[in-house]
Amino acid sequence: MERMERVEHSGLTIDEMRSLQLRLNAKHPEWEKLRPEYGRSCLLWMMEEFGEVVRVLKRNDDEQVMDDPAVRSGFIEEMCDTLMFFVDTLICYDVSPEEFAAAYRAKAAGNLKRVWQSA
């Protein structure tokens, strides 16, 4: 199967993901509000969605994930669901995009300096 062409788009920012999740939550008053007491539930929902990513990977080989449009679409959709609950968790605990970005960059910088040992 021929590899699907990858099209570059501008990156999705933490600010945009946060804004979209807040809009979605506001649209559904029946949902739990994104407050600290709901943060643990968001993580559990995220893990359930991650399980759906795993299910796609268990049922399909790497080539299908890369080349089969239907499989790839399902894989990406489940990754998006996982990321949405991750962002909801950040919102619940009032982690700002700036705070998260700074911590992520610091963690990445530390990891880049580390010498990784094989087990």
Tens digits of residue pLDDT in 42-57: 999 999 999 999 999 9
Query: Amino acid identity, residue 36?
Result: P
End-to-end alpha carbon distance in the chain: 36
CA 11 to chain CA centroid, Å, is 14
Tens digits of residue pLDDT in 67-111: 999 999 999 999 999 999 999 999 999 999 999 999 999 999 999
Distances (CA, A) of 6 to 12, 56, 63, 88, 101: 16, 21, 15, 28, 26
Query: Residue 14 pLDDT more than 90?
Result: yes
Domains of the chain, each with CATH number or no CATH:
14-113 (1.10.287)
pTM (two decimals): 0.85
Q: Place 8 in a pLDDT band, splitting at 50, 70 and 90.
A: low
Helix H or strand E segment including 104: helix 97-113
- E-state strands within the chain: none
pLDDT of the residue at 6: 55
What does the chain come to in residues?
119
